[in-house]
Structure 1
C-alpha cells in the first residue's frame, strides 16, 4: 500500500545545555544542508539561524548552564526542504513580548554581513529561514524550514507563526 506521506530522513542530536557544544549543532546542520545541495550562502544562513536558536535555549531556558539540562536538535530531511527543530524543557517566553522589544527595523541599522550570533536571535531566525514556528509552554521549540531551490530562484515567501500549547 502506497503512502501519501513525503519521504523524510530524521537526524536527532541531544546536547548538554552548554555553550561549548553549540558548534556541534552548527556542524550537524552544515553537513546535512551540504549533503542536500544547499548553496554556501544558504548553509551559512542555516548555521546562523540554528546557532541563534541554540544560543537562546542555552542562555534563557534554564536557571543554570551546568550541563544537567539538555538541548534537542532534530533535522527532518525532505526532498525539497530541511526542517530543523530546536527544543528545550526550560522556561517558556512570550513571543509577542520578544518581538516587540525591537522597534527599529534592523536592516536600516546594519548590513547582513555585519550580523553576529547572539542578541538578535528571533529577528535573525525569522530573516534567514523561510518558515519559522514557535511552540511555547513546557519549554520552547523552534521549527525552522529552509526550502531547497534547485533552479536558483529564491522568492521572498517567508512566513512566521506561533502556536501556544
Structure 2
C-alpha cells in the first residue's frame, strides 16, 4: 500500500513550486531542514534520500549565510517538484564569486571547512552553480525521485 501511495503522489504531481525567504541567521537552518524534510517526504523520497537532501540544502544555506550576506538579510529557497525530480535552488544576493574557482578541496584543507559544494555534489544527482559578481550566487540541485 505504501508503494502505491508513493507512486500515486509522483504520477499526479504537476510542476509545483514552494518558495521561502529565510533570514540570514543560523537558528533558521532547523526550519529549513524541517521544511525540506516535509516536502521530500510528501514527494515520495525514502528516509536515506531525505537525509541526503536535507544535508545538501543545509550546506547550500550555510554557504548563502556565510558568503552571500545580502543587504536585506535574507536568502531564498525555491523547491520545484516535477514528475520525476525535485529541484532546489538556494539564492543569495551577496557579493557573488568566480564559479570556476570552486574546486575539489585538497586533503590539507579538509580541517578548515570549505567542503559544502563538494558535499552537495556528492549527495545530489545534478548540481549547477551560477554567480554574478555583485549580484549573488545560486546553487541549483536536482534529485531524481525513486533514483530514476
Q: Same-fold call, TM > 0.5?
A: yes
- Counterparts of 2:77 and 2:123, CA distance in 1: 18
Match among 91, 98, 105 for residue 94 of structure 1 = 98
1:33 counterpart residue number: 40
1:113 counterpart residue number: none
Match among 72, 87, 106 for residue 103 of structure 1 = 106
Q: Give 1:103 shift.
A: 2.8
1:125 maps to 2:97: no
Matched residues, number:
131
Query: Which structure: greater helix fraction?
Result: 2
Tell me the secondary structure at the aligned position of residue 122 of structure 1: helix
Q: 1:63 to 1:69 in 2, by over 3 A?
A: closer
- Counterparts of 2:36 and 2:124, CA distance in 1: 13
Tell me the secondary structure at the aligned position of residue 79 of structure 1: coil
2:3 counterpart residue number: none
Q: 1:146 to 1:63 in 2, by over 3 A?
A: closer
Unmatched 5+ residue regions in structure 1?
A: 1-5, 110-117, 156-165
1:12 counterpart residue number: 19
- Counterparts of 2:85 and 2:36, CA distance in 1: 13
Tell me the secondary structure at the aligned position of residue 102 of structure 2: helix
Tell me the secondary structure at the aligned position of residue 99 of structure 1: coil
TM, length-normalised to structure 1: 0.73
4+ residue stretches of structure 1 with deviation over 6 A?
none
Unmatched 5+ residue regions in structure 2?
A: 1-12
- Counterparts of 1:14 and 1:76, CA distance in 2: 15
Deviations 1:95-122 (A, max 9, x none): 222215x134xxxx9xxxxxxxx64100
TM, length-normalised to structure 2: 0.80
Contact preservation (8 Å) 2:56, 2:120: yes
1:3 counterpart residue number: none
